[in-house]
Amino acid sequence: MRRMLILENGAVFTGMGFGADGDCDGEVVFNTGMTGYQEILSDPSYCGQIVTLTYPLIGNYGVNYEDFESISPSVAGLIVKELTDVPSHWQSEQSLEAMLKEKGIPALAGIDTRRLTKIIRQYGTLKGRLTSDVNADVQKIVSELQTAKFPTDQVRRVSTKAPYASPGSGPRVVIVDFGMKKGILREVIKRGCDCLVVPHNTTAREILNLHPDGVLLSNGPGDPKDVPYAVEMVKNLLGKVPIFGICLGHQLLALACGADTVKMKFGHRGANHPVKDLTTGHFYMTSQNHGYTVDPESLAGKNLVVTHIAINDGSIEGLAHTKFKAFSVQFHPEATPGPEDSAYLFDRFLANLSATKKAGVQYA
Active site residue 47: no
Q: What is the dihedral of CA 97, 64, 288, 103, to 10 degrees?
A: 40
The torsion angles phi and psi of 240, rounded to 5 degrees, stand at: -105, -25
β-pair partners for 268: 290
The torsion angles phi and psi of 48, rounded to 5 degrees, stand at: 80, 5
Of 250, 268, 321, 332, which residue is the catalytic one? 332
Distance CA 99, CA 55 (A): 19
Active site residue 334: yes
β-pair partners for 269: 289
**Contact yes or no for 20/101 (Cβ under 8 A):** yes
**Chain centre distance of CA 260:** 19
Of 39, 97, 317, 334, which residue is the catalytic one? 334
Active site residue 247: yes
**Contact yes or no for 174/216 (Cβ under 8 A):** yes
Distance CA 186, CA 66 (A): 12
Of 187, 247, 290, 317, which residue is the catalytic one? 247
Distance CA 158, CA 48 (A): 10
Helix (H) or strand (E) holding 329: strand 326-329
Distance CA 193, CA 100 (A): 34
Hey, CA dihedral for 240, 242, 248, 254, is it positive or negative? positive
Distance CA 339, CA 9 (A): 38
**Helix, strand or coil, per DSSP, at residue 170:** coil
β-pair partners for 26: 128
Which residues fall within 8 angstroms of residue 312, CB to CB, at 6 or more apart? 273, 274
Q: How many residues make up the chain in this entry?
A: 364
**Contact yes or no for 363/211 (Cβ under 8 A):** yes
**Which residue numbers are catalytic?**
247, 332, 334
